[in-house]
Chains A and B, each alone.
Chain A
Amino acid sequence: MLLREGEVRIPSGCAVSAILNVKGRCINGEAITQSIACMRERSNGLGGGFAAYGIYPEFKDHYAFHLLCETEQGRLDAEELLRQNFLIDRSEPIPTRKVIGIENPPAVWRYFARVRPEKAVGCSSTAEGNLVTSVVMKINKHCDRAYVASSGKNMGVFKGVGFPEDIAAFYRLEEYEGYLWTAHGRFPTNTPGWWGGAHPLGLLDWSVVHNGEISSYGANKRYLEMFRYRLELQTDTEVVAYLFDLLHRRHDLPLELVCRVLAAPFWKDIDRMPEPQRRLYTALRQVYGSALLNGPFSIIVAHGKGLIGLNDRIKLRPLVYARKGDFVLMGSEESALRRIFGEPDEVRAVWGGEPVIVELEGGSAQ
């Protein structure tokens, strides 16, 4: 029998792309679709997806759960799990249209929910985050063929099996307005068998698109398992998302340092740093060595307040940064960035291991 993603580890090649308006001005999904479509030969039709931020202003304080459900029973079980922990203020199918090239889509559903008051332990955002994370992991593990694509506020992940531009048409992304978009086109070596295997991967406000093959997967996985993360999909993207979650949300490391853990500077460079920087970077590697992502990757991590681009430390995969007015663009290829707004004001390749961190001006969207 053909194994589904999660039951087997599937190496992939990919295209990634992202657009952020630093002033928080919203645009619809067409630009990002054009950009990812421009890199069609980096995908093979076996996975595509988008993350969009700022799309649910009317529910901006609700957790928006996007679910992919292959069976009705799975969806009902997932809904039950959600209800036990959350008050659901709206639940509905995500609007879609029929598209040639998108076959046998699962039921795609979204829930807008608030944490039940009695479940809001200590009311801290970390505790709430832990609750959301644990419910997401439970659904992914226990509910038959139901999968949570995203679980953040005022954002959503739209993904499936197909070319990214077809996925965009399927989800009618031109109807959404967001200030931050990321996209992913996938070239898996095996068929992932189901939609949960597509990217971006979303957890809370975080979403990750990733191009690469992390050769340290086993070490990273066992490290995360020590902190009770379950790696259900066996994908690198999952590892990246959980490492950000662990290091930034739970351990409170600044984003810059999270990147310096994932793509750590070499010892020869650390040894040359002035104090107290040397002490800091030495400790980061001593303590977080198992979180080092080794092997080729370029990743774009989006969160409600901005965007992070990161390459592996010897730059084995491409990542380009560009700026045009209020827009910051990142992607696998320069062509994909030029495709959107023509000649950028600034364009350059991201260095190996260099974190490119872009935040919304004023810290949040208007």
Chain B
Amino acid sequence: MRSLLPPEYIVRIDQDRCRRCGRCVRNCGFGALSFEHSFWHRAKELFQGSTEDLQKVIAHVEEYVPDRVVADNRKCVQCHYCVTHCPEGAINIEPNPLAYKANHYWLPHYQKNIVKQAESGGMILTGSGNDKPYFSYFDHLVLDACQVTNPSIDPLREPMELRTYLGSRPKALEIEQDSDGEPVLKTKLTPQVKLEIPIVFAAMSYGAISLNAQKALAMAAKECGVLMNTGEGGMHRDLYPYADHIIGQVASGRFGVNPEYLERAAMLEIKIGQGAKPGIGGHLPGEKVDEEVSRTRMIPVGSDALSPAPHHDIYSIEDLAQLISALKEATAYTKPVGVKIAAVHNVAAIASGIARAGADVIYIDGFRGGTGATPMIIRDHVGIPIELALAAVDDRLRQEGIRNQVSLIAAGGIRHSGDVAKAIALGADAVAIGTAALIAMGCHVCQQCFSGNCSWGIATQRPELTRHLNPEEAGQRLANLLRGWALELKEILGSLGINAIESLRGSRLRLRGVGLSEQDLEILGVKPAGR
């Protein structure tokens, strides 16, 4: 069917500046740019075989225009790879003002999807996170600072501690005395994993993202003393040297899961749900399953990797408890086992059940969380904001007196260290960042990850595109980002007059709400500014 979709963007090439190096043409993963071979093209058109045609061709030589870059506007997704890399700065991309007639209700977005579906009869897929203008609670929470009665602390002069451990903690410690009368620890703690900064990288599988991207995450995690997460795609052998800084995910497809995999990872995570697609499985199309992905996932080359929506062995909380203990048993109780869930309406009760099922860590992914591929309708309309979910879970676990049994990781839309601090004050032990990490590597949030054409070499397996991502450089960018956020967190702690991150954890008195309803404030457990 002929597409009636108007182009969303207009690519303008400044032909005076362009030196026709061809970089943009080769690099565009979406094939939006090409050389218009104007001379040969026209000549071919003109020459039908007769001598008169030759005459016309010769006449055309006189009006010869050299090759030039032209864009197929319909294919452009505004990923900005070409714009960023053009040596002459000759490319500009603008939204197409005439794509749709203005309407405050039938926004272009809805019209576009309707046209698309009228043409395809399918679901609209998308990548990355919910981009709709829902209310952001983070943006209506502000942090406290010290003045006079309690002094602020200067992080340049005093130690500032961000170290955080993930794992289950007993309520109390038992101490005994050794023969010299010195106190020694009697309690044997269950395994704890150390984070030097209370941030982990969110799960992004090999398959959804390139090996280069995973390597970059692993290198940065190791350098900064934090963790990356394999996602549900198994662990490629190139990541083995970083295994101490890797969370091994066990998802519904069980891809790449075998005893060695479990053994290698620093921590395990059972993935129940994801903020961008609660209740939805995963689908890695066969085209992305090349030799390496196939080996890592342990599936045949070219076969679709389908992760079922639920785990086929988990239909209840007691089934989850069994899988948790199976994983612990399989790894001889040497590493924490976490459970990742999407933030949904009843998240507090679910989390409490998960804690009681024996999980050491609960990872809550809010509705802004990103993904490699999901039906847009799910991404944009299912789940709840992480701020509310986190506050509700932390409250419930405390009411039940079991907050110590689990560490909480909050994720889904953490954009800067301010969000990190607010999440920790609401009750998180640590946060996870996915989209922010991708942006650090180059991603421009074009939301086309599901297409496999990522020009930035991140969400693709096409070798000519994955080449675009240098793992060392991207790893350095990620490490720099973490370092920058860590410095900012220390400034925040200093201004709050505290020098250890645990003194902020769950300290909602250090937050105030601006422009929040009474009900919101009650759920978040914070006072309005001015009180």
Please report A residues at the B interface, Cβ cutoff 8 Å: 11-13, 189, 212-219, 221-223, 225-227, 250-254, 256-257, 264, 266-268, 276-277, 279-280, 283-290, 292, 294-296, 313-314, 316
Cross-chain contact B401 with A216 (CB below 8 angstroms): no
Cross-chain contact B498 with A280 (CB below 8 angstroms): no
- Kindly report which residue of chain B lies nearest to residue A246, judged by CB atoms: B172
10 contacts between A and B (CB under 8 A): A215-B498, A219-B502, A252-B175, A268-B159, A279-B185, A283-B185, A283-B189, A284-B173, A289-B500, A294-B499
Partner of A292, one of B175, B192, B500: B500
Which candidate, B75-83, B90-98, B150-158, B297-305, is the interface stretch facing chain A?
Answer: B150-158
CB contacts (< 8 Å) of B189 on chain A: these are: 283, 286-287
> Which of A213, A216, A250, A264 has the most chain B CB atoms inside 10 A of its CB?
A216
A286 to B505, CA, bound (A): 13
Cross-chain contact B398 with A290 (CB below 8 angstroms): no
The 4 closest A-B CB pairs, nearest first, are A218-B509, A218-B507, A289-B502, A216-B503
Partner of B497, one of A215, A251, A252: A215
Chain B interface size band reads: 35 or more
CB contacts (< 8 Å) of B245 on chain A: these are: none
Cross-chain contact A189 with B149 (CB below 8 angstroms): yes
Partner of A283, one of B146, B173, B505, B506: B173
Partner of A219, one of B182, B192, B504: B504
A218 to B496, CA, bound (A): 12
In the complex, how many angstroms separate the beta carbon of B448 from the nearest chain A beta carbon?
42
Interface 1/0s, chain B 170-203, versus A by CB < 8 A?
1011110000001111010100100000000000
CB contacts (< 8 Å) of B153 on chain A: these are: 314
In the complex, how many angstroms separate the beta carbon of A42 from the nearest chain B beta carbon?
14
Interface of B: prevailing SS: loop
A268 to B500, CA, bound (A): 12
Asked whether B419 is an interface residue with its Cβ less than 8 Å from the other chain, the reply is no
A213 to B152, CA, bound (A): 11
Cross-chain contact B184 with A276 (CB below 8 angstroms): yes
- Kindly report which residue of chain A lies nearest to residue B160, judged by CB atoms: A266
Cross-chain contact B503 with A257 (CB below 8 angstroms): no
Partner of A256, one of B183, B184, B403: B183
Asked whether B163 is an interface residue with its Cβ less than 8 Å from the other chain, the reply is yes
Asked whether B490 is an interface residue with its Cβ less than 8 Å from the other chain, the reply is no
A9 to B480, CA, bound (A): 40
Partner of B149, one of A12, A222, A253: A12
Asked whether B223 is an interface residue with its Cβ less than 8 Å from the other chain, the reply is no
Cross-chain contact B401 with A226 (CB below 8 angstroms): yes
Partner of B158, one of A221, A257, A277, A314: A314
Asked whether B356 is an interface residue with its Cβ less than 8 Å from the other chain, the reply is no
Asked whether B510 is an interface residue with its Cβ less than 8 Å from the other chain, the reply is yes
Cross-chain contact B185 with A226 (CB below 8 angstroms): no
A292 to B1, CA, bound (A): 67
Cross-chain contact A253 with B173 (CB below 8 angstroms): yes
